[in-house]
Structures are given as C-alpha cells and as structure tokens.
Structure 1
Amino acid sequence: MNATPRHGLARVLSKHGLCSRTEAARWIADGRVQVDGRVVRDPEFPIRRDPRGRQRIAVDGRELDRAEPIYLMLNKPRGLVTSARDEQGRDTVYRCFDGAVLDGAPLPWLAPVGRLDRASEGLLLFCNDPEWAARITDPEHGPDKTYHVQIDRVPTPELLAALVAGVDEQGERLRAKSAVLLRHGEKNAWLQIVLDEGRNRQIRRLLAALDIAVLRLLRVAIGELALGELPKGQWRRLSAAEAAALRR
C-alpha cells in the first residue's frame, strides 16, 4: 500500500497562491501559521494531500482557502529586475503594481511567470496559479515566445539562417524557431525572433555567439497572447479565454 503523498508546509502555502515559497517560510518562522490548531515553525513540516484526512491550515487565524486565480500581463519597462526583492536595491517589476487595485481590493500577491532580464522589455505574465505558470514556462512544451530585437548591423540571409540553425554555447544548443528581418537602417536592424524553448538569456547568448550586439529586446507575444497597445509600465487582467488558451 502506497503512503499518502506529502508536501512541505511552505510549498503548500505557495501552491495555494497566497505567497511565494520564500514568503511562506518567513510567515512560518514568524509563528503566523497553524496546522490543526498548533503553531508550526518548520517550513518543511509535512502536509498530507489525502482529501479524506486533510489537515486544517490557518494563517493569522484564518483557515486556508485557495485564492481566486488571477492572471495579469505587464508591459515591463527596461531597467527593472524581475524579482520581488533585489539584494542590490535596484527597482523591481513590482514598482508597476504600487497602489494597484483589482475589483475594488488591493492586488493580492502574484508571482512573475518566467523572467525578462533587467535590460529587456515587453510582455511579462503574473499569476497566483503555480500549475498554470509551470505550463507557460515548460522549456519543451510551453507556448512559443515572440521577440522584436534591435541589433547593431543589417543581417544577411546567411546570418538569419544561422540563428535558426543554432550554435553550441557552454554545453547548450541555442537556436531560434524563426528569425526574420522586420526593418533596417544603415547601421542597425530590427528582427522578429520566435523561440519554442526556454533557456536563460537565450536570445542574447545566441546573438553574442555570432558576434552580434543587442541594442533593444522586447517580448511582444506569448503564444497567441500579444502585448498589443498596452502602455509601458501598465498592466491588465487576462480574460478567462486568454488564460485558458495559454494553458492549452
């Protein structure tokens, strides 16, 4: 007979969309969390997943209910770190949510879905649904991600083909699903690059391996969800249909 599956208390809180696992561990250490009426200070305290014997979890005296799932898109400005806190004191993407209100109430805790590095801009998703986020960020099966990239030269057809063929860089094969020229001037150009896999700083590393400098990098779509005309630094809630389409 198999044992009942268990997860650590901090993970259970984050899976309910209440906070990040780091924040959950802080709540637990501060004595704000009870299990079956007893304060627990161990973030790895095992919680049963068997619904017939579910333990009662309370935060600040309120029994745990799963938060309403919320999915947002942000037009991330350049210069913000995709993190809740930054050890170097730099501004983070959460600046864009200062004073934010949703349905007449303060915006609840939401986590970024994937990342855009500090110098990158454009479409960044947030949610309190870890399972949905995992589908979006799955490196093999997640939706395509489309970028507009300004580079420091006018590309030849051979260079565009090289981006799709890919390069080996630090033990990884980096490649684009597609790369096309959007427009160009005398000394630089804009490309549209589509990725169908998720690797850290993939476009910058791929272009650097081909001795190409990135001047600007904007993510303009995830799957069929386009950034559209959303102003820089602004956010909006995804419709149920948009969230469901990304889940598929």
Structure 2
Amino acid sequence: MRLNKYMALCGVASRRKSDELIKNRKVKVNGEIVEELGIDVNENQDIIEVNGKVIIAEQKNIYVIINKPEGYVTTVKDQFNRKTVLDLVKDIDERIYPIGRLDYETSGLLILTNDGNLTYRLTHPKHEVVKTYLARLKLVPDKIKIKQFESGLKIDDYVTAPAEFKIIKKDENQSICEIKIHEGKNRQVRKMCKAIGHPVLSLKRISIGNIELGNLKIGEYRNLSQKEINYLKSL
C-alpha cells in the first residue's frame, strides 16, 4: 500500500497532507526517515512512525452497494486483465471485496464490504437470502415450464431449490420475467432458464433480501444506511 494512503487510513492526515509530512522528513519506516514520495509499505510488517509515534490503522467497516455494469468481473484480480468491480470504487481507501458474485454478462446489485462476518452470513448456504433478478428471455415460457422452474430443475450435478418466477411483460419474441432464488451457484439463473428452453438475453439483479438497487445508476455505488446494515446483520 502507498505510504500516504496508509497514513490517511490511520487518521494522520489526508493523502496530500501526508505527502507534506513526508517531504518535511517527519515520517520513518522501520526506523529510517523516508526520503521520497510514493513508496509502498506492508501494513502488516513495516513499522511506520509519524513525528516519533508509531501509527496503526484501525479497520473501519465499509458497506456499499454498486450497480455492476455488464462487462465487469467480480473477482479482485482477473487473469485476462478484464475490468473488475473494484475499478469502480477506487476512491474508497479501505480494501473492500464483493459478497458473492455476478457473472461477466450480468448487471445489477452487488454488495461490497470488508466485514468478514457479514460476508460469511450472506454467502453460507444455510442462510437462505432471497435474490431477485429481472431477466429478459427468448420467447415466452408457458405455465408448464414455469411450474418446472419453480419446482426445481436438474442443473449440472444438482437439483435447484424451489424458486419464484413471474412474467412481467411479453411479446411474440421475448419476455421480461422476475425471478427469485435463494441459492448462488455459478450462472444458476442462466442455466435454469436455458433448461426450460428460454435462454437469457439479459440479466440484472435488483435486490438481495430487502436491499434494493432502486434508481442507482449503472457503474455507481452508494453507502448502505445503518438501517440496511442492521438488516443484513440480522439475517
């Protein structure tokens, strides 16, 4: 991590003011006065002093939701150098990570945090958090296929749990459907729709439990309210 960023995380000063402290030879790393700007430090190994006092970062829990665009991955790093959702939150100093995932072609609501306990709660299978999607499908499923979808489908080597499926809008060539599931297996909604003969044309997650995407613009994020954080922790 850049030294000035670490200093900012410790509450010493802003990054710009931290650079001024470095220029004025007020900062030491492992007992040596820092002579240049832009150096990296290991916050877990290096000892950083400012004006003779050791500084230590206290973790501040961050909770945000982002409207993930299509064409972004939800991994921290990508072997193919594709854009990741972390590219959209570069102005957040703390290290935050996505809870769960949305595939490359899927857009919509994604929660990011540095709260490991909450991540565990929301991703563990025993905590059945309902996720709601808007799916644009090829053609229009009939009642029999919808019933199959809702009852459970054989996908890969597992049978999906009961789900909800509702047609919102339709024409001759496609349908807009609201889908609710509480599992999170890889590309599950897409595989389920394909299994009933109606491939996904586009897919967007609009809510996780009671946390809704609302009118958040594509590629933008917002902090969760305390009420929303308390709700997630209560699940």
TM-score (normalised: structure 2) = 0.74
Q: 2:119 aligns with which of 109, 114, 133?
A: 133
Q: 1:92 aligns with which of 66, 71, 84?
A: 84
**What pairs up with 1:127-166 in 2 under 5 angstroms?**
127-166=113-152
Which has the greater radius of gyration? Answer: 2
**C-alpha displacement at 1:72, in angstroms?**
0.3
Structure 1 portions without partners, runs of 5+: 1-33, 35-56, 101-105
Identity %: 30
Q: 1-side partners of 2:229 and 2:112: how far apart?
A: 11
Q: 2-side partners of 1:175 and 1:160: how far apart?
A: 14
Paired letter, 1:168: K
Aligned to 1:209: 195
Kindly tell me: are residues 147 and 176 of structure 1, through their superposed partners in 2, closer, same or farther at Cα, counting changes over 3 Å?
farther
CA displacement, residues 183-215 of structure 1 (integer Å, 9 cap, x when unaligned): 112210011110122222111111222232100
**What pairs up with 1:183-202 in 2 under 5 angstroms?**
183-202=169-188
**C-alpha displacement at 1:162, in angstroms?**
1.0
Aligned to 1:237: 223
Kindly tell me: are residues 182 and 66 of structure 1, through their superposed partners in 2, closer, same or farther at Cα, counting changes over 3 Å?
same
**C-alpha displacement at 1:118, in angstroms?**
0.2
**What pairs up with 1:210-225 in 2 under 5 angstroms?**
210-225=196-211
Q: 1-side partners of 2:211 and 2:46: how far apart?
A: 38
Q: 1-side partners of 2:157 and 2:211: how far apart?
A: 32
Q: Between 202-211 and 233-242, report the one with greater CA deviation.
A: 202-211
Q: 2-side partners of 1:191 and 1:175: how far apart?
A: 18
Q: 1-side partners of 2:204 and 2:161: how far apart?
A: 18
Q: Is the 8 A contact 2:163 2:180 kept in 1?
A: yes
**C-alpha displacement at 1:70, in angstroms?**
0.8
User: Is 1:69 the equivalent of 2:55?
Assistant: no
Q: Is the 8 A contact 1:135 1:142 kept in 2?
A: no
The 3-state SS of whatever aligns with 2:134 is: strand
Q: Is the 8 A contact 1:163 1:175 kept in 2?
A: no
**C-alpha displacement at 1:133, in angstroms?**
0.9
* Aligned-residue CA RMSD (Å): 1.9
Q: Is the 8 A contact 1:176 1:194 kept in 2?
A: no
Structure 2 portions without partners, runs of 5+: 1-29, 31-42, 49-54
The 3-state SS of whatever aligns with 1:125 is: strand
TM-score (normalised: structure 1) = 0.71
**What pairs up with 1:113-132 in 2 under 5 angstroms?**
113-132=99-118
**C-alpha displacement at 1:137, in angstroms?**
1.3
Q: Is the 8 A contact 1:147 1:219 kept in 2?
A: yes
**C-alpha displacement at 1:60, in angstroms?**
2.6
* Structure 1 segments (4+ residues) deviating >6 Å: none
**C-alpha displacement at 1:144, in angstroms?**
0.7
Aligned to 2:70: 78
**C-alpha displacement at 1:121, in angstroms?**
0.4
Matched pairs, number: 187
CA displacement, residues 55-78 of structure 1 (integer Å, 9 cap, x when unaligned): xx9543157554111100000000
